């Protein structure tokens, strides 16, 4: 079995050694430009078109939870990968736990009014503030996949009301589910903290815009953990300026790294992290990919295959 591997930043020798250890008989090599050698599987992140074009592969694995970069390339170069070639993404390789940590820590930060206390500290103002109440602090999760379900679970443990919105209705214990465009206004109406975990699809680009933000509760909060293209940054800044949105925590941006001239850097109610909410953990990812490849070789059912029409 031949496996080609491409990632611009990963420790390639480590991945190759571990994959060969986990998949008996596999020969794994780093793909480089000009490599037209045999390949049964490809493991990729933002792959060059040349890497996949013209190959007959049993499957392609994206080395992350999102596959939008590959799907975008396929729109421009549909010949890059035949429709019949299965495309897989990493549903959870330690990413759910990281998302839980990130979401819970930030929701509690806002709930305990630490953002307000930081503002008071900057103004040298010693003044206890009224407490928020959990029943008034409804968490709304946009996107109800594997990561969304885990984030919902972790927030329920803290006693917050939790709701989710997605393409199809979910049956999650103690979570109110909304589905489809017609249900979006009802989902937004009582949401105090909006957590975005949507996939990047043509339907979701720019979804967090002025219209959506205006439908949230006053003095709401926005936490974007999905993709920068989901947020119209100018609309978010305007909502922050007039107080509709009280605070935003952003991990992803339309342009990364975020340009130094972006007004988001200096806004006192915006917190920023450099796309680190959940990263691929090599040991867990290698285990999942190896197991999936072996299951495919045995003709067994597998998880994580992407529906290219839906985009996830």
Catalytic hit among 275, 281, 291, 308: 275
Residue 50: alpha-carbon gap to chain centroid = 27
Question: How many CB atoms lie under 10 A from the CB of residue 223?
Answer: 26
H or E, element range at 2:
strand 2-6
Q: Are 181 and 187 within 8 A, CB to CB?
A: no
Residues 6+ apart with CB under 8 A from 225: 99, 102, 103, 195, 196, 197, 251, 252, 277, 278
d(CA 112, CA 67): 36
SS3 178: strand
SS3 204: coil
Annotation marks residue 112 as catalytic: no
Q: Are 195 and 142 within 8 A, CB to CB?
A: yes
Catalytic hit among 55, 89, 227, 230: 227
Annotation marks residue 22 as catalytic: no
d(CA 201, CA 112): 34
Question: Which of the residues are catalytic?
Answer: 227, 275
């Amino acid at each position: 079995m031949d496996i080609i591997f491409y990632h611009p930043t990963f420790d390639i020798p480590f991945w190759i050694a571990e994959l060969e250890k986990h998949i008996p008989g596999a020969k794994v090599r780093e793909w480089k430009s000009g490599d037209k050698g045999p390949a049964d599987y490809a493991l990729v992140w933002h792959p060059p078109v040349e890497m996949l074009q013209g190959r007959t592969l049993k499957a392609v694995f994206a080395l992350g939870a999102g596959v939008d970069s590959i799907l975008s390339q396929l729109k421009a170069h549909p010949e890059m990968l035949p429709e019949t070639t299965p495309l897989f993404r990493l549903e959870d390789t330690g990413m759910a736990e990281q998302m839980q940590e990130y979401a819970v820590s930030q929701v509690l930060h806002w709930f305990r009014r630490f953002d307000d206390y930081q503002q008071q500290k900057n103004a040298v103002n010693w003044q206890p503030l009224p407490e928020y109440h959990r029943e008034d602090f409804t968490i709304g999760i946009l996107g109800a996949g594997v990561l969304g379900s885990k984030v919902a679970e972790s927030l329920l443990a803290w006693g917050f009301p939790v709701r989710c919105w997605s393409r199809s209705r979910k049956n999650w214990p103690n979570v109110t589910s909304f589905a489809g465009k017609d249900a979006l206004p009802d989902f937004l109406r009582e949401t105090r903290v909006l957590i975005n975990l949507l996939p990047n699809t043509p339907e979701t680009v720019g979804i967090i815009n002025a219209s959506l933000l205006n439908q949230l509760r006053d003095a709401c909060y926005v936490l974007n953990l999905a993709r920068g293209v989901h947020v119209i940054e100018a609309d978010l800044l305007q909502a922050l300026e007039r107080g509709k949105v009280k605070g935003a925590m952003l991990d992803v941006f339309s342009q990364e790294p975020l340009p130094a001239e972006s007004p988001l850097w200096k806004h006192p109610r915006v917190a920023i992290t450099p796309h680190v909410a959940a990263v691929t953990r090599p040991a867990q990812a290698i285990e999942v990919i190896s197991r999936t490849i072996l299951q495919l070789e045995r003709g067994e059912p597998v998880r994580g295959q992407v529906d290219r029409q839906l985009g996830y």
